[in-house]
Structure 1
């Protein structure tokens, strides 16, 4: 496992996954790191074998660009959010569509599972976030309060909090154990485009203002302001141990930050195109980036 922030990606093996027919909008590893799931503007999801790099299958069903995808923590399901205003839940083993979740009035931009795999959160252009019961395939709660598009959402690792990031420049943290408690995190000067929680409970937000902010979501305190990108932020990912944070954006780089001191320890270049998405594998040994050029670049640290 790659744990030392001083280690370099300079001499790593790189693998390309290039069968998409549209921009790559999201990518994620299965919990066992055997499968890579990606989605694209071509209305499809792609399932890849990580070790071989071969395309296993294309998953069809959405009638619009697929904006986001994620695996359930128990790996039995994966979910996708689309411009067609729906969220779909699929069985990992068979790629059968289990549920088509309808309730959003406009494009759905983001989706994530709860840590126990029983709930799903989605949000988008209708300025609302919907919490779904995965087993029943129905909505259980709707969160309102943002004034603009919600582009990102995330569950805390303990399942107590969800967070939503909006084009109104704010992040909202919702306490699922106490519906009356919510916090609004302010400070960004641009649209919030990406969010993620670390295993230790930190919350990172990336923005069109070219910065990453790392927060304590319980009290709303700012821990770090990470300033180093020269373009809009598009994707964030904490390593499984919470020590590292990867950020990708429109400046043709993926940056890796040390979450103990807020310093940038690596700036990964050679992508040639803006990196729409990045993700650490659950075991921390791989970092994936999805460029705008319809392919994915897999980097394996030494």
Structure 2
């Protein structure tokens, strides 16, 4: 049976089967109509988020697709790949509009600005690049990290950028000035960063912790402990009151601060998680098909 065509309702869950290898990232469109997944088989999959129907298999990258995101207006989506490029696609046609070349090594992360006019990417070359999404041109280069940039995000007011690196730091960059603020404290590679609607910044690490920061002052607000292995993905709900974390965990402990709401066993290690824009759904991607029985964990935390 073709795994690209299978969907299954399991209780209140809807499973999307398609990638032949690990799912590296998931993204909802702002109108909650579409779901995008990126995987190691060099493809993206565009789904009907309500029914689980596969709408399109998107090809063009020459290597594993490491990250993907929709633009806030749903008109575009972007992908970052091991082939050293970022691609911008038209959502309606799934046609590639721009191939953004500037990174010299694998691109690990990509994010749209809230107004959809800019795109941020980072990767193995220790650089973050700001792009113009309409012209497909490089606007600004951010350097300062000493190792791989695995994650990035825009603040809601578009005044700040955040990058998480294997040098164990998070950098907060100002788009109004040339300054940056380095957040230190993680004891392992920083694998994911995410701004909340209120301006808080969450970072997840190989040190098995999630840290919640005031990004401007650099003050640590919460230290969340519970994963038994490295944290791969973090996502705030739209109102900023919930934080979901996905990790390569075999067991779940108790957080030292913050309040954990629940956790759920998934197929294999959970590699990504993201809330839908309306906050009603949480999607997570895993590395296994349903025949495999290894366990991964998804956790959701209350941040206030």
Instruction: State whether TM-score is above 0.5.
Output: yes
Please say if residues 246 and 254 of structure 1, whose CA atoms lie closer than 8 Å, have aligned partners that are also in contact: no
Aligned length: 282
Q: Residues 253-268 of structure 1 correspond to what in structure 2 (within 5 A)?
A: 262-268=258-264
2:101 equivalent to 1:102: yes
- Tell me the residue number matched to 1:29: 28
Q: Distance in 2 between matches of 1:41 and 1:272?
A: 17
Q: Distance in 2 between matches of 1:286 and 1:278?
A: 10
2:267 equivalent to 1:272: yes
- Tell me the residue number matched to 1:187: 185
Please say if residues 19 and 294 of structure 1, whose CA atoms lie closer than 8 Å, have aligned partners that are also in contact: no
Q: Distance in 2 between matches of 1:239 and 1:83?
A: 29
Cα 1:116/1:252, change in 2 over 3 Å: farther
- Tell me the residue number matched to 1:6: none
Q: Residues 241-260 of structure 1 correspond to what in structure 2 (within 5 A)?
A: 241-251=239-249
Q: Residues 79-94 of structure 1 correspond to what in structure 2 (within 5 A)?
A: 79-94=78-93
- Taking CA–CA contacts closer than 8 Å with sequence separation of 6 or more, which of the two structures ends up with the larger relative contact order? 1
2:42 equivalent to 1:43: yes
- How big is the shift at 1:60? 0.5
- Tell me the residue number matched to 2:152: 153
Q: Distance in 1 between matches of 2:277 and 2:16?
A: 19
Cα 1:96/1:246, change in 2 over 3 Å: same
Q: Distance in 2 between matches of 1:274 and 1:240?
A: 25
Q: Distance in 2 between matches of 1:253 and 1:25?
A: 21
Q: Distance in 2 between matches of 1:268 and 1:155?
A: 29
- How big is the shift at 1:248? 0.3
Unaligned runs of 5+ in 2: 1-9, 291-295, 299-304
Q: Distance in 2 between matches of 1:137 and 1:184?
A: 29
TM-score (norm 1): 0.90
- Tell me the residue number matched to 1:221: 219
Unaligned runs of 5+ in 1: 1-10
- How big is the shift at 1:252? 5.2
TM-score (norm 2): 0.89
Q: Residues 96-135 of structure 1 correspond to what in structure 2 (within 5 A)?
A: 96-135=95-134
Report SS of the residue matched to 2:267.
coil
Deviating above 6 A after TM superposition, structure 1's stretches of 4 or more consecutive aligned residues are: none
